[in-house]
Structure 1
Amino acid sequence: MDETLSKWVVEVATRGHLGASHDAASESLAPERVEGNRAVAFLTDVLDWLQALPQPALVAATGGLVLAECTIGLGFIAPGEGGLLIAATTVNSVPRFLILWAVVTVCAGIGDSIGYLIGRKYGVKLRETKLIQKYGVEGWDKATDILRRRGAWAVFFARFMPVVRTLTPAAAGTAGMQYRKFLPAVVAGAACWSALHISIGAALGEAAHQLEKYLSGGAVVLLVVVVVVIVVVHLVKKRKKAKAAANAPVVTSDDDPDLERVTG
């Protein structure tokens, strides 16, 4: 009986020691986990705050930013694309997606139409304005020439090119493109562009909520570094492409007489 009692006491003591060691190890790892959880929790709190905002106000603000970005002049300072991505992180249902998509598409079409009307009204005089002189006469000439030769397809694909999408509608008006050709291309491009960006933003928002469950502090830091590097590389590439496009020689329609010329 005494021998059995002694074995039981030893076993309990051993288990208690191991449990204490496990708790100590957990406490030693706690600071890193706490920091990681705090960082991710802050991000998810921000997203939760955005989702708690009145949807009409959030959608209206996003539509306003997109409209401003698509309007020549304001388009060079309004963060329409960034605002759309941020707003899209709040999309957590099909109705929210469809409402934001519809509003952004309409606002983009309105902004592009304003640019088109400005181009129609001022014509070639627009090329001599300080705005065009500042952001590149060569790029304006190239956009105008491509529009004359490619027509609606140039308008559609310009939607996916930063800065160019702001200049293209006005250039289309200056080039004399018919509005009945311009509008369908603008709406189609805006619909595809907004759907793409809302999908990306919604995916990022959902991913941010999942980070809090799975990532430690080190993983969060690594993820942030990777994202920053990707963004920087992407921006550098865009800047180089834009500079190369602006400096490229303009091909006139006389060089290829088989290409269709858009007329008013």
Structure 2
Amino acid sequence: MNEILTWILDLVQSVDPVLRTALAGVGMLLETSVLVGLVVPGDTIVIVASTAVANVVEYVALVLTVIVGSLAGESIGFLLGRLFGPRIRSSRLGQRIGERQWRVAQRYTDRRAGIAVFISRFLPVLHSLVPLTAGMSTMRYRTFMSWTIPACTIWAASYVGVGWLAAGSYRELSSQLHWAGAVFVAIIVAFLILVALAKWLLGRLEARHMERQDGDADDD
């Protein structure tokens, strides 16, 4: 396993750092822009790029680039929602998402406002729909950005940090341990499991919150 993993990591690291960082930023722009995030694996792109980080300067550069790419993509989604939201929702691509998903995202944004913007960055499907529905709502762009900036910052720092930690640990241990590759895989898998559990828990908590609000509305 060590030989294969070393070859893969060396291949990623052989890419020019500027190009590698720029590709991660573009990947995040696509991942967070209108509906493209449903097919572009931004998290995978970022983790792969982060395995080639060699020092703190490259770490900071990659994190900042990922944040800028994310914010640019979400800003595009917000603007398109403001200008063409209903048209996108009724388009062929919008219909493939499903009317139920649109209703959930719209109701979630209307009721949770800025908190919905923050939390949606960590939830599947909603992270692509909420910028659009926020743009379709009365939410101001300044409010939208004030909530999505910290969310994108946490996301970027976490993903880049884990990729850097896993690859760095492997490189330190690979010459001493035959099972160093297992350490790399274990770090990545453990992180992805934690992310999946966190997304599931957030989704459950938000679903219960919406159900309580629905119940309170019915009582009124």
TM-score (norm 2): 0.81
Matched, 1:148 2:94: no
Matched, 1:162 2:124: yes
Q: Do the aligned partners of residues 154 and 41 (structure 1) sit closer, same or farther apart at CA in structure 2, a change above 3 Å counting?
A: same
Counterpart code for 1:61 = L
Structure 1: segments with no counterpart, 5+ residues: 1-38, 257-264
The alignment's C-alpha RMSD in Å is 3.4
Equivalent residues in 2 for 1:42-61 (5 A)? 42-61=4-23
| Structure 2 match to 1:10 | none
Deviation at 1:96, TM superposition (A): 0.5
Matched, 1:105 2:67: yes
Distance (whole Å) between structure 1 residues aligned to residue 139 and residue 211 of structure 2: 22
What do residues 105-140 of structure 1 show as CA deviations (whole Å, max 9, x unaligned)? Answer: 111101001101111112334332332322232222
Counterpart code for 1:147 = T
Q: Do the aligned partners of residues 55 and 40 (structure 1) sit closer, same or farther apart at CA in structure 2, a change above 3 Å counting?
A: same
Q: Percent identity?
A: 29
Distance (whole Å) between structure 2 residues aligned to residue 130 and residue 70 of structure 1: 20
Distance (whole Å) between structure 2 residues aligned to residue 66 and residue 230 of structure 1: 19
Matched, 1:133 2:95: yes
Q: Is the 8 A contact 2:166 2:187 kept in 1?
A: no
| Structure 2 match to 1:30 | none
Q: Secondary structure at the match of 2:124?
A: coil
Counterpart code for 1:143 = A
Which of 131, 134, 142 is matched with 1:172 structurally?
134
Structure 2: segments with no counterpart, 5+ residues: none
Distance (whole Å) between structure 2 residues aligned to residue 178 and residue 237 of structure 1: 29
Q: Is the 8 A contact 1:85 1:198 kept in 2?
A: yes
Q: Do the aligned partners of residues 200 and 174 (structure 1) sit closer, same or farther apart at CA in structure 2, a change above 3 Å counting?
A: same
Q: Is the 8 A contact 1:89 1:204 kept in 2?
A: yes
Deviation at 1:142, TM superposition (A): 1.6
Q: Do the aligned partners of residues 189 and 227 (structure 1) sit closer, same or farther apart at CA in structure 2, a change above 3 Å counting?
A: closer
Which of 46, 56, 65 is matched with 1:94 structurally?
56
Counterpart code for 1:89 = T
Deviation at 1:62, TM superposition (A): 0.7
Q: Is the 8 A contact 1:148 1:175 kept in 2?
A: yes
Matched, 1:117 2:79: yes
What do residues 75-129 of structure 1 show as CA deviations (whole Å, max 9, x unaligned)? Answer: 2221211000110111121110111111111111010011011111123343323
Equivalent residues in 2 for 1:191-230 (5 A)? 191-216=153-178
Which of 255, 258, 261 is matched with 2:217 structurally?
255
Q: Do the aligned partners of residues 202 and 184 (structure 1) sit closer, same or farther apart at CA in structure 2, a change above 3 Å counting?
A: same
Counterpart code for 1:179 = Y
Number of residues of Structure 1 aligned to a counterpart in Structure 2: 215
Q: Is the 8 A contact 1:155 1:185 kept in 2?
A: yes
Q: Secondary structure at the match of 2:174?
A: helix
Deviation at 1:173, TM superposition (A): 0.7
What do residues 142-167 of structure 1 show as CA deviations (whole Å, max 9, x unaligned)? Answer: 22112112211111111112322111
Q: Do the aligned partners of residues 92 and 85 (structure 1) sit closer, same or farther apart at CA in structure 2, a change above 3 Å counting?
A: same
Q: Secondary structure at the match of 1:213?
A: coil
Counterpart code for 2:3 = A
Which of 78, 90, 114 is matched with 2:40 structurally?
78
